[in-house]
Amino acid sequence: MRDIARRAEVGLATLLRHFPTREALFEALLCTHLDALVQTADGLEKSDAPGEALVSWFREWMAFAQSYRGVVAMMAAAHTNPESALYAACAAVHSASARLLLRAQAGGQARTDMNGDDLFGLMSALGWLVDLPAFAPRADHLSHIVASAILPNLPGHGVAKRPAKPER
């Protein structure tokens, strides 16, 4: 915490008054990033291309998920725990995802047999998977496959268009 205070150019006592533990500081940082994701989704909701907006959102989510090791597991746990400091931010991300999915479904581009819970689950599962060192190099390819499955009617997003890299 001392190093963090020094880098932030504040006193250690000041930092500890606001964030008594590293976990509290990390949760505040995550909430800030999750709020930014929700704002991104709010902007994407105004798009004239709802399928593309959902793909953009999915990419933003994956970039976030890959930026902090273990964040997806924390979010998945917080999503169902109202006592968690991340609960409200995770609920907002879930809601934003669901709204973007509904728009893509209304536009005839997304599968209609899934809902926001399914989307959040798929995003979480993929985020967890690419957090593993063996799958991290394939993150873009795996994201494309999942996005193609969610948006089968979005032109240019067919799985066959991006061949898999050969396994080693």
pLDDT of residue 168: 52
Classify residue 141: in a domain, yes or no: yes
Classify residue 13: in a domain, yes or no: no
User: Which amino acid is present at 89?
Assistant: A
pLDDT, tens only, 15-33 = 667 767 766 767 777 888 8
pLDDT, tens only, 44-85 = 999 999 999 999 998 998 888 888 788 888 888 888 889 888
pTM (2 decimals)? 0.80
**SS3 assignment, position 24:** helix
What domain range is 86 assigned to?
21-155
Cα–Cα distance measured from residue 127 to residue 120, given in angstroms and rounded to the nearest whole number = 10
Residue 42 sits in a domain of what CATH number?
1.10.357.10
pLDDT, tens only, 119-143 = 999 999 999 998 889 998 999 999 9
Helices and strands (H and E) in the chain: how many: 8, 0
Are 66 and 131 contacting, i.e. CB atoms less than 8 angstroms apart?
Answer: yes
Classify residue 16: in a domain, yes or no: no
